[in-house]
Amino acid sequence: MIPPGEILPEEEQQEMFEHFRLVVDKGQEPDRIDRYIATHQEDTSRHRVQLAIKAGFVLVNDVPAKASLIVRPGDIIRFVMPYQRRGVEILPEDIPLDITYEDDALLVVNKPAGMVVHPGHGNFSGTLVNALAFHLGLGKGSDERMGILVHRIDKDTSGLLVVAKTDEAQMSLAKQFFDHTTERLYTAVVWGNIKEDEGTVESYIGRDPNDRLRFRNVDDPEKGKHAVTHYRVLERFGFITVVECRLETGRTHQIRVHMSSIGHPLFNDARYGGSEIRSGTIYAKYRQFISNCFTLCPRQALHARTLGFTHPSTGKRMSFAAPVPADMTALIEKWRTYVSSMKEEF
C-alpha cells in the first residue's frame, strides 16, 4: 500500500491501484461492509466504497461482497481502490490539451511526448494533471479530484489517455483496466530485424534491484507482476523494425522491457539500451545517419495509437485513434529513404 500523501516519481508509478487488507477486530459489532470500510480506512468515502463493491473490487473471506453484507469479528477484507493522490497541492495551469473526445463522464486526451503525467519527483508543474485541473475548473491547490486518471503512459511516450470526470466513471474505467478488457495498441520502432511476423512476450515484471528507475523480467512471481505483450510486424527496414504492440496487461515500461528482453529494444530508448547502435554497419556514414535519426526523434519511439473501452454511462463500446506523431513519422520516413538507397546491404 502507498502511504497517504506520498508522491511517487513518474517512473515508479507501477500501478494505478492500491491494495488493502483489513481484519475485523474481535470486539467489533456486526456492521455493513460499506460502512465498516469507510470508517476504518483513511480518506475513503462510503460512496467510493459502494462503487468499489459494485465493481467487484471488494472481497470478504475471498468472496465478492455486496454492499448489504454484514461483517463480523475475524472476517478478512481485501479490496482494491483506484489510487488517489492525497495531500498533493495541484496548481491549475493553462496548458493546451489535444482533446480527442469529451462528454460529461470522461475525456480522451492525446498526450505529447515529453509531458509528465503526474506531479512529483521534481515535476510539480507543466504536467498533464496541472493542465487537466485547469481544464476541469478545479481550484488552486485542490487535491480533491486527483484520482481522475485511471492509467498512465511514460513521459517520453506519446498517445492516448482516458480521464474520468466522476467517481462513477473512474471506478468503471478502473475496473476495465483491472480486468484487462480495454484495447490498447501501440506503434513502436525497435532495433533489429524481428524474424517472426508476430509473437507474444509473457513474463513477470519487477523492479531492477540495481537501478530503481528500470524494470526487468523476473522468474519469481512474488517479485513481479504478470505481463503480456502481443506484437505484430508492420514494416521492416533491415536494421530496425516498425511493430504494433497490443497490451494485454499494463505494467510500467512493459513494452520497453519486453522488447528489450527479446533483443529488440525501442529505438532511442536510453534506459533500456536503445540509444546506441544495436545493428547495422560500423562505417562513419552509418553512425552519422543514426545520430541524425536520434536527433529527429529524441525519445523512445513509442506511441499509444489506439484506445478502446466501454463507456461508463452508456455501455457503448468506444474506440479512439491518434495518428503517429511527427517525430516518429519523420523517423520512419527517413529509414524508408535510407533503405531504398541502400538495398544492396540487405
DSSP string spanning 70-110? EE-TT-EEEEEEE---TT--B--------EEEE-SSEEEEE
pLDDT at 161 over 90: yes
pLDDT at 14 over 90: no
Q: In this predicted structure, what is the pLDDT of residue 194?
A: 96
149 or 39, which is more confident: 39
Residue-wise pLDDT tens digits, 321-339: 999 999 999 999 999 999 9
Q: Please state which of the four CATH numbers 3.10.290.10, 3.30.530.20, 3.90.1310.10, 3.40.50.2300 is assigned to the domain occupying 17-82.
A: 3.10.290.10
Q: What is the mean pLDDT of the chain?
A: 87
52-65 average pLDDT score: 88
CA 116 – CA 246 distance, rounded (Å): 23
Cell of 255: 513494452
Contact 150, 16 (CB under 8 A): yes
250 or 294, which is more confident: 294
51-74 average pLDDT score: 89
Look at residues 293, 278, 294, 255 and name the one whose alpha carbon lies nearest to residue 193. Answer: 278
Residue-wise pLDDT tens digits, 63-78: 989 988 999 999 999 8
Q: In this predicted structure, what is the pLDDT of residue 17?
A: 67
pLDDT at 314 over 60: yes
pLDDT at 38 over 80: yes
pLDDT at 142 over 80: no
Beta strands of the chain (E only): which ranges? Answer: 17-23, 31-32, 58-60, 63-64, 70-71, 76-82, 99-102, 106-111, 158-164, 183-191, 198-208, 211-218, 225-236, 240-247, 302-310, 317-321
Residue-wise pLDDT tens digits, 104-128: 999 999 999 999 988 766 667 899 9
Sign of the four-CA dihedral 191, 266, 340, 296: negative
Q: In this predicted structure, what is the pLDDT of residue 250?
A: 86
Contact 188, 259 (CB under 8 A): yes
38-55 average pLDDT score: 84
Residue-wise pLDDT tens digits, 274-288: 999 999 888 899 999
Contact 101, 113 (CB under 8 A): no
**Greatest mean pLDDT among 40-49, 79-88, 247-256:** 247-256
Q: In this predicted structure, what is the pLDDT of residue 16?
A: 63
Q: In this predicted structure, what is the pLDDT of residue 271?
A: 96
Residue-wise pLDDT tens digits, 162-220: 999 988 898 889 889 888 899 999 999 999 999 999 999 999 999 999 998 899 999 98
The pLDDT confidence band at residue 13, using thresholds 50, 70 and 90, is very low
Q: What is the DSSP letter of 30?
A: P
| Percent of the chain at pLDDT exceeding 90 | 58
Q: In this predicted structure, what is the pLDDT of residue 12?
A: 37
What 3-state DSSP class applies to 174?
helix
Q: Please state which of the four CATH numbers 3.30.830.10, 3.30.2350.10, 1.10.760.10, 3.40.50.1100 is assigned to the domain occupying 99-178.
A: 3.30.2350.10
The pLDDT confidence band at residue 297, using thresholds 50, 70 and 90, is very high
CATH 3.30.2350.10 domain position(s) in the chain: 99-178, 183-345
Instruction: Find the catalytic residue in 31, 34, 75, 154.
Output: 154
Look at residues 155, 132, 112, 177 and name the one whose alpha carbon lies nearest to residue 322. Answer: 112
Q: In this predicted structure, what is the pLDDT of residue 4?
A: 33
Look at residues 31, 27, 108 and name the one whose alpha carbon lies nearest to residue 73. Answer: 27
At residue 175, what are phi and psi to the nearest 5 degrees? -60, -40
**Does the domain made of 183-345 have the CATH classification 3.40.50.2300?**
no
11 or 302, which is more confident: 302
Q: In this predicted structure, what is the pLDDT of residue 84?
A: 64
Q: In this predicted structure, what is the pLDDT of residue 308?
A: 97
Q: Known catalytic residue: 167?
A: no
Kindly report whether the global pTM for this prediction surpasses the value 0.85. no
CATH 3.10.290.10 domain position(s) in the chain: 17-82
